[in-house]
Every structure is written in C-alpha cells, then in structure tokens.
Amino acid sequence: MAEDILNFNIENLGERSIPSPVLTNKFTHDHKRVLFNTGLETYNAFTTAEGTPLSLEVAGPRDRIFFDHATTKAAIVTCGGLCPGINDVIRAIVMGLTHRYGVKNCIGIRYGFQGLIPKYGHDILPLAPENVLDIHTLGGSFLSSSRGKQDVGEMVNTLKRMNVDILFCIGGDGSMRAAGLITEEILRRKLNISVIGIPKTIDNDLNLIEKTFGFDTAISEAIKAIQSAHVEAKGAPMGIGLVKLMGRQSGHIAAGAALAQNDVNIVLIPEVPFDLEGEKGLLKTLERRMAKRKHCVILVAEGAGQELMQTGSQPVETDASGNPRLLDIGIFLRKKIEEHFKKIGEEINLKYIDPSYMIRSVRANAGDSIYCGALGLYAVHAGMAGKTGMLVGLSRDEYVHIPLKMVTFGKKVEPDGNLWQRVLEQTGQPNMKNDE
C-alpha cells in the first residue's frame, strides 16, 4: 500500500474547549488507539512515515467538546439502497444528541443527497425523540433515500444556508465517497461543519470495517429462502432449488448464508469465476450431483457469472450511482440449466427464488439493532467533539474512527481465504473452472 493511503489521522475542526455534558467517568482520549494490524508476520509492514505502527483512533465520548449544545444544529441523511437497521441508526443519533448532549435542533434530509439540492423541492423533516420513538420497528428509511451524484458545492451551500453544524451521512461506498468530497469542500471554505459517516452496505463490502449493519439481518432472512429452496428441491423428483442473493461485487452474503444453513450444495460468487460448459463446468457438475443425490440447492450472488452473459461489443451500462448494471444471473442460470437437462433427456423440477427486495426492506434483527445503536451514539460523540471527514466502524472488536477516504475500496471474499475454504468444505463443492 502506498504511504498516502495508509493515513489514519482524523481531521478536527478546532480546539475542544467546552466541558462535555455526558454523564460518565470513562471519557475516551484521542491517544487511545488500536493497532491496524496485529499479525506478527505483517506487523512491521504497516507503519507510519515515522516508523511507528499504524493504529486507529478509538471512538467514545471526549471530556471536552467543540460544539455548544445550545446552538448546535444537526442533520441526518440516508443515501443509496435500503438496508435493515437504517431507522435504528437514525433513532440512536436523535436520542444521543437529545438525551446525552441536550441538542434540541435536529433535522432529517429527505430522499438522500437530493434533499440538499433546492431544485428537487424535498421538505426538511424536524427530528425529535417523540417522532423517532418507534421507527426502529419499521424497515426501510424513515427519511427515504435516493441514488445518484449531486453537485458538491450546491450541497455545501445548502448546509451553510441552513446553519447545519453536523451532518450525519448514513450510506455505503458511493455515499462515503460523496461525504468525503463534501468534507473537502467544507474544509476548503474553512467552515465549521462536521461530517460523520455511518457505514451502510448490506453486502458487507466496506474496507477496514469488521461488518456493516444490516448484514446479520440479511443472513437471517436469506436462510428462510434457502430453507424454502431445500424443501422444494427435496419435495419433487430431480428437484433443484436456485436462490439468487444480493452481492454485486462481493459474495459475503452468499458465503455467510451457506455457512449458516447447511442445505446448500453449490455457491457461486463474483470473486470465484466458474465455467458453464465443459467437464468441470457448472452444468456437468450439477448433472453429476443430480445423478447421485437427486436434488440440489444452488446459491448465487447477483454479481456472479457476469462474464458469461456479456458480449464483447456490448457496453456496460451504469446506474445513477455509477455502479455497473448487472445482468440477471438468476434468470440466465435457470434457462441454461433447464436447456441442458432437456438436451440430455432428463426431466427436472427447478424452482427459482429471488428474495432480494424482501431481505433489504425488513426491520433489523436484535443483533443488528444493538450494533446500529452503538454506531449512532458513537457517531454523535465524534460529531460533538468536532471531528470530521470520518466514519464510525467496528474494527478489532473496537469502535473506531476511520477517515472516509480509507473505506472506499471494495472488500471481497478471498478465494484462498478461510471464509471461502469453509464454504467449500461445508458444501463439498468442486472447482468449476476448466482451465485450472
């Protein structure tokens, strides 16, 4: 890694001169840090320019804060796709600001970053404990969301015009990049506006973060689809259950769900290419499985096998956030599997299940709800301390502050890593690439 990438310094708006109103005798100091890498074999490889080990700043309430609660105005925005736990985070931020710091002025920005662009005309929503009291029992986003790039200068103009002191941004990879650009523009203008990110991506693919909220809930909900697929596969002669799960560029949900529910026989993820045809390809592998066991459950991440469907002359389209538009691997595989078995004269009963939107729109489970509450409160502590250009995340079992620019790189399932090896061991899945 380049030296400038490995920079974990957190920006501060200025001197913290106001005694904290938080009632605790365990304040956290900036010098409390955790090591970035704890492995002996790589310990010396991850050091600062001065030769000291790289470390991350620990999250928590500071004994002195930057913003005065009497005049502080906070705003919350949720961006990108929906994810279980968004409302839990919103609620935790509002409750933390109100009850821990006495901040009375908090607003919700509607429909993502569009809400900071006047031409869209989205209303601002006042936020207080009484109107967020029960939102954690609901799925989706209380503030609604949107995708797509917006003008950074115009968004900063809006924040300044509304006298916002702290912007809490709940979002994934693209949202954190946008929050980073907003931070840069704020610092360039020398404005005292703090930008704090809370990582949200159901795919669990944010770099340096142990896990993102909503991931545990996604696994729990995916299990229900796998159980249904297994029942369908076992309930008919030559039954095949095909389940497509979320995972644009990473297979964490598919891998985790396969390990959590020991009914999956084949797992397909973006990080591990596979062939369709040939003796080692998916179709022959499935044919052998069906001949031996008479049923099969296949789990495929939505980003898997894209190269099998694309033609050389076909340009890759992108969505409003700049993400490649994926071709439907589930429909593609269903068609190819049915054609293959018809060709060899075998009758199969294939059931295809795509629970994607059902999974991402449910309320958070208990584990995610606890996690979201902690993320929201630690974000409040960071914002009131005047920290900016950072997000709160879980790393090395500690809640830490991480610069926004450090988490914009995709975290993938390593084909040679422990997670994927456990999937292979549990499923007994063979290599489905003919050239290896």
Residues annotated as catalytic (active site), given as ranges: 203
Q: DSSP label at 121?
A: -
How far are the Cα atoms of 99, 237, 346, 352, 365 from residue 349, in angstroms, in the given order?
57, 7, 10, 10, 34
The amino acid sitting at 270 is P
By the 10 Å C-beta count (0-12 exposed, 13-18 middle, 19+ buried), 320 is classed as: exposed
For 409-430, give one letter per residue: b (16+ CB within 10 A) or e: eebbbeeeeeebeebeeebebe
- In whole angstroms, what is the distance from residue 362 CA to residue 84 CA? 6
Structural contact between residues 46 and 54, judged by C-beta atoms closer than 8 angstroms: yes
- In whole angstroms, what is the distance from residue 345 CA to residue 330 CA? 23
The amino acid sitting at 242 is L
Q: What is the dihedral of CA 211, 180, 324, 329, to 10 degrees?
A: 10
Taking alpha carbons only, the member of 123, 336, 219 closest to residue 327 is: 336
- Chain-centroid distance of CA 234 in Å reads 34
How far are the Cα atoms of 6, 354, 417, 424 from residue 304, in angstroms, in the given order?
31, 14, 18, 16
Taking alpha carbons only, the member of 283, 288, 201, 278 closest to residue 242 is: 283
Query: Which three-class secondary structure state does DSSP give residue 422?
Result: helix
Structural contact between residues 372 and 364, judged by C-beta atoms closer than 8 angstroms: yes
* Side-chain-side CA neighbours of residue 252 (13 Å): 21
